[in-house]
Structure 1
Amino acid sequence: MTIFGPAVDVRPLFPRERQAMLDLLRALGPADWAEPTVCPGWDVHDVTGHVLNDFMRRLSGRDGHGGAVFADDETLPAYLARVNEEFVRATRQLSPQLMIQLLDQLGAQLDAVWAAHELEAPAGLNVSWAATDVDSPAWLDIGREYTEFWVHQQQVRDAVSLPGATQPELMAPVLDVFARALPYTLRTCEHPDGTVAHLEVLGPAGGRWSAVRQDGRWRMVTPGGQPAARVSMDQDTFWRLATRGITVEEARARSTASGDPELTAAMTTLLAVVA
């Protein structure tokens, strides 16, 4: 039984998500680009620059370029915070129009990078919030990148009060990929084999996911049977919890839980970003 559950193929969705982002950015006025976002210290221009960084970083990896290196004793979260901030500061020299053009032009190249991957092959970058002791499959790495772009689009939309891109075909895969953090979220819960924890996300893009304790670790499993713990929340709460757009306490206040309190408490700390 795989730890991560069945593959999610988001590759056909990148052009659609990107087009929604480009349409959004093209509709912004000059003042909108300076609106603050939920990302500390970053405005809309900065978040857009960060997305451009993601594009360029992945395309540079395609070319075999190693990129920035870790400083002495630097943790992964510290490394990412540093290099992301360095790039964002540099992109403050770029006009919004130029960043839009670059995202548009580089996007098709990035689509080709994803298309060249075998979904079940080893990932180019392991997904640390899903497992730290098992290699990630390519589909999970690619899915992680899709969630990154979609979430940053939502952060821009929140900042300028222009909701969108939440139709199920675009949003549901984000929630599905985030749910694959469930086994890692439960990793410290030492329960008997066969124990099941169930997560339900309500809304048009929502779904149901379960993790089972088997052979001393938690694994994704097809929902069914009677779980030892159950947590339910709406789709907006779930993606914001997973990216810490809201606090754990806020998510718990917006959720319903039943069953084993240790499991429900752990499930409502689910995190699907590096932090």
Structure 2
Amino acid sequence: MSIFGPLVDVRPLFPLERQALLGLLRGLEPADWARATVCPGWDVHDVVAHVLNDYMRRLSGARDGYSGAVFADDETLPAFLARTNEEFVRAARQLSPRLMIELLEQLGPQLDAVWAAQDLEAPAGLNVSWAATDVDSPCWLDVGREYTEFWVHQQQVRDAVSRPGATEPGLMAPVLGVFAQALPFTLRAHDRPEGTVAVLEVLGPAGGRWSAVWRAGRWRMASQVTGAGEPAARVSMDQDTFWRLATRGIGVEQARERAEASGDPELTAAMTTLLAVVA
């Protein structure tokens, strides 16, 4: 019995998200590239370089079977990612915005082809640690995570240059749905009686309603089980608050101020700590 929700295929969305990103980047003024983002120490140029790094890293690994990863002694995965991301961003500061745009444009379709060849129901090439650490993630969730990564970084650039966009439901709703897969892991420390249900409601055109149920000794996405009863806990927040909470664009306390919660206080408190990035 899977702990994850139903398969979500985001593969057709990668070209659309990239088209929106490239249109945004081509319209930036030179000064815009130096504007600070929510990512500590990174400006717009740095965030775009990080996206380029993601493209190249996944092409190297998933297409070419090349890792090249060298961990320092006792280095955890989050520490490794933080270090290597920073190293790439620093090195990429010598790249022009025009060149980075051209590279994203050229490499993007190659990465799309990698996703298209994936068996979405197979085990993931890279497990999604914020969804589970003791079972293999499905491939569709790994691919979905990559989509959320690109979409969120685009939003960070848009925030920095005050150009909203790419939030239409077709592009944004799958991001929220993938992030909601973190719900069982978020609740993992709280054992409850069999059949206990916790509901997360995200309000807005791209929002939705997701449930986790305690079944067979662990929390699972309720869509994968039957007989889910009335919720013991419910948290409701708007779509902007949810994606920013999940990526720590805002803090837990700020999210709680914007949310409405009812029912089991331990469960609602845990739900408002949901995190859908490696940290």
TM-score range, shorter chain: over 0.9
Matched, 1:99 2:103: no
Matched, 1:221 2:191: no
Cα deviation code 1:178-212 (max 9, x no counterpart): 00000000000011111100000000000000000
Q: Does the CA-based 8 Å contact 2:247-2:277 persist in structure 1?
A: yes
Question: Which residue does 2:270 correspond to in 1?
Answer: 266
Question: Which residue does 1:181 correspond to in 2?
Answer: 182
Q: Does the CA-based 8 Å contact 2:196-2:229 persist in structure 1?
A: no
Question: Which amino acid is 1:245 matched to?
Answer: G
Cα deviation code 1:2-59 (max 9, x no counterpart): 2011011000000000000000000000000000000000000000000000000000
Question: Percent identical across equivalent pairs?
Answer: 82
Q: Does the CA-based 8 Å contact 2:180-2:210 persist in structure 1?
A: yes
Q: Distance in 2 between matches of 1:193 and 1:165?
A: 40
The counterpart of 1:239, out of the listed 228, 233, 243, is 243
Matched, 1:47 2:47: yes
Q: Distance in 1 between matches of 2:254 and 2:108?
A: 35
Q: Distance in 2 between matches of 1:111 and 1:45?
A: 23
Q: Distance in 2 between matches of 1:193 and 1:157?
A: 44
Runs of 4+ residues over 3 Å off in structure 1: none
Equivalenced residues, count = 275
Mind listing any 5+ residue stretches in structure 1 that lack a counterpart?
none
Question: Which residue does 1:18 correspond to in 2?
Answer: 18
Q: Distance in 2 between matches of 1:97 and 1:81?
A: 26
Higher mean Cα deviation, 62-71 or 183-192?
62-71
Higher mean Cα deviation, 238-247 or 219-228?
219-228
Matched, 1:148 2:164: no
Mind listing any 5+ residue stretches in structure 2 that lack a counterpart?
none
The counterpart of 2:256, out of the listed 237, 252, 265, is 252
Q: Distance in 1 between matches of 2:213 and 2:50?
A: 36
TM-score, with normalisation over the residues of structure 2?
0.97
Q: 1:68: how far off?
A: 2.0
Q: Distance in 2 between matches of 1:76 and 1:269?
A: 21
Question: Which amino acid is 2:239 matched to?
Answer: Q
Q: Does the CA-based 8 Å contact 2:195-2:229 persist in structure 1?
A: no
Q: Does the CA-based 8 Å contact 2:10-2:144 persist in structure 1?
A: yes
Q: How does 1:201-216 map to 2 (within 5 A)?
A: 201-216=202-217
1:180 partner SS: helix
Cα deviation code 1:228-269 (max 9, x no counterpart): 000000000000000000000000000000000000000000
Question: Which residue does 2:164 correspond to in 1?
Answer: 163
Q: 1:225: how far off?
A: 3.6
2:4 partner SS: coil
Q: Does the CA-based 8 Å contact 1:57-1:67 persist in structure 2?
A: no
Aligned-pair Cα RMSD in Å: 0.9
TM-score, with normalisation over the residues of structure 1?
0.99
Question: Which amino acid is 1:53 matched to?
Answer: N
Q: Distance in 1 between matches of 2:200 and 2:65?
A: 39
Question: Which residue does 2:79 correspond to in 1?
Answer: 78
Q: 1:64: how far off?
A: 1.3
Q: How does 1:22-37 map to 2 (within 5 A)?
A: 22-37=22-37
Q: Distance in 1 between matches of 2:27 and 2:247?
A: 26
1:181 partner SS: helix
Question: Which amino acid is 1:42 matched to?
Answer: W
Question: Which amino acid is 1:218 matched to?
Answer: W
Q: 1:76: how far off?
A: 1.2
Question: Which residue does 2:123 correspond to in 1?
Answer: 122
Q: Distance in 2 between matches of 1:19 and 1:203?
A: 24
Q: Distance in 2 between matches of 1:35 and 1:163?
A: 15
Q: Does the CA-based 8 Å contact 1:68-1:83 persist in structure 2?
A: no
